[in-house]
């Protein structure tokens, strides 16, 4: 088994993407009004500083993308080129032009058959449809047939943001919780057992809410029949540590999932380098019964991604 330290939650912002979307829109999506800059050199420098061997690149959530199928194909090709140029330093979770399921299916075939990607990034909702929605069934049927890895990343909710904090502070973790619950209650976690879903940021608030969700499902006979074992559905998810490296977060994860389903993540470049160093220090010193950090840092991801 690989001893590499693998960052499964690392984003990239290629120039072709920034130019197409526009810096003003990217800035507007950030809580401080300033989008991070990115380069492969900066990514490698961050990884070298933090002892990270490989980063799995993905395009993070952002504004609506013009000509999504064309632009995301270029981004997926660019990630493949980076993977080829920097052997062993980068992998990729390819982007899909959702909510257009037909276009997404074409991109799945191209990315798996031609680019040999590690999996796909999808967002928590598309036009208010969460991932358990029937709209996505044809896509998940194909991803299930392929045994694909699907990295679930939060995006803007389909409602106004309360004036409590920027969306990334509270709404993003809540969005992850909503879409994970949607996948569970729709029966998708039982129906598509060959898909390996990764939830960002330690699953948002899902670990804390598992007892409440399980009780609620038990009170809805039709849903309970569809879901089966709620706790088993939750355990089927993978979870990353991005922006969640703390004893409370990891202790909660250890209660609701298998230790080999916890993956290391940084959220670079949206997480600043000082935060990555700080979270790294916490992870290095953390002790959670049943959680082996060597496995979290690399072995679990190596097994999942076939390294």
* pLDDT of amino acid 30: 72
Q: Is 222 left (phi over 0), alpha (psi -120 to 50) or beta?
A: alpha
Q: What's the chain's average pLDDT? A: 94
What is the pTM (predicted TM-score) of this model? 0.96
Give the list of residues 6+ apart from residue 20 with CB closer than 8 angstroms, or none: 65, 66, 67, 71
Give the residue numbers spanning the domain of 177.
Answer: 6-305
The answer to whether position 1 is within a domain reads no
The answer to whether position 229 is within a domain reads yes
Number of H helices, E strands in the chain: 15, 10
Give the list of residues 6+ apart from residue 158 with CB closer than 8 angstroms, or none: 125, 127, 128
pLDDT at 87 over 80: yes
The answer to whether position 253 is within a domain reads yes
The answer to whether position 153 is within a domain reads yes
The answer to whether position 60 is within a domain reads yes
The rounded distance, in Å, linking the Cα atoms of 23 and 35 is 8
Q: Are 48 and 280 in contact (CB under 8 A)?
A: no
Write out the two tokens for 96.
């899909």
pLDDT at 100 over 70: yes
Reported as a pLDDT band with limits 50, 70 and 90, residue 1 is low
> What are 192-227's pLDDT values in tens digits?
999 999 999 999 999 999 999 999 999 999 999 999
Return the higher-pLDDT residue of 245 and 54.
54
288: domain CATH number?
3.20.20.140
The answer to whether position 114 is within a domain reads yes
The answer to whether position 257 is within a domain reads yes
The answer to whether position 128 is within a domain reads yes
How many other CB atoms are there within 10 angstroms of residue 49's CB atom?
12
**Domain total for the chain?**
1
Strand partners, 122: 152
Start-to-end CA span in the chain (Å): 8
Q: Are 285 and 260 in contact (CB under 8 A)?
A: no
* pLDDT of amino acid 65: 81
Q: How far is CA 103 from the centre of its chain?
A: 21
């Amino acid at each position: 088994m690989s001893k590499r330290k693998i960052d499964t939650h690392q984003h990239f912002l290629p120039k072709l993407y920034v130019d197409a979307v526009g810096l003003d829109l990217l800035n507007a999506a950030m809580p401080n009004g300033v989008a991070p800059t990115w380069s492969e050199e900066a990514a490698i420098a961050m990884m070298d500083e933090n002892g990270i061997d490989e980063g799995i690149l993905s395009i993070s959530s952002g504004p609506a993308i013009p000509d999504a199928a064309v632009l995301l194909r270029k981004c997926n090709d660019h990630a493949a080129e980076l993977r080829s140029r920097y052997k062993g330093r980068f992998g990729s979770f390819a982007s899909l032009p959702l909510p257009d399921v037909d276009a997404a299916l074409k991109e799945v075939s191209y990315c798996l058959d031609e680019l040999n990607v590690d999996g796909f990034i999808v967002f928590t909702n598309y036009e208010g449809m969460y991932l358990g929605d029937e709209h996505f069934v044809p896509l998940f049927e194909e991803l299930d047939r392929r045994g694909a890895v699907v990295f679930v990343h939060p995006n803007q909710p389909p409602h106004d943001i309360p004036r409590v904090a920027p969306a990334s502070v509270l709404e993003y973790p809540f969005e992850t919780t909503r879409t994970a619950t949607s996948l569970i209650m729709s029966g998708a976690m039982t129906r598509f057992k060959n898909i390996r879903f990764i939830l960002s940021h330690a699953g948002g608030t899902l670990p804390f809410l598992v007892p409440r969700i399980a009780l609620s499902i038990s009170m809805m006979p039709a849903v309970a029949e569809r879901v089966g074992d709620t706790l088993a559905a939750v355990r089927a998810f993978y979870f990353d540590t991005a922006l969640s490296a703390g004893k409370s977060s990891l202790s909660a994860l250890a209660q609701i999932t298998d230790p080999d389903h916890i993956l290391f993540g940084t959220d670079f470049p949206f997480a600043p380098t000082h935060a990555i160093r700080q979270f790294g220090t916490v992870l290095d010193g953390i002790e959670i019964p049943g959680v082996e950090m060597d496995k979290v840092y690399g072995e679990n991801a190596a097994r999942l991604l076939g390294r």
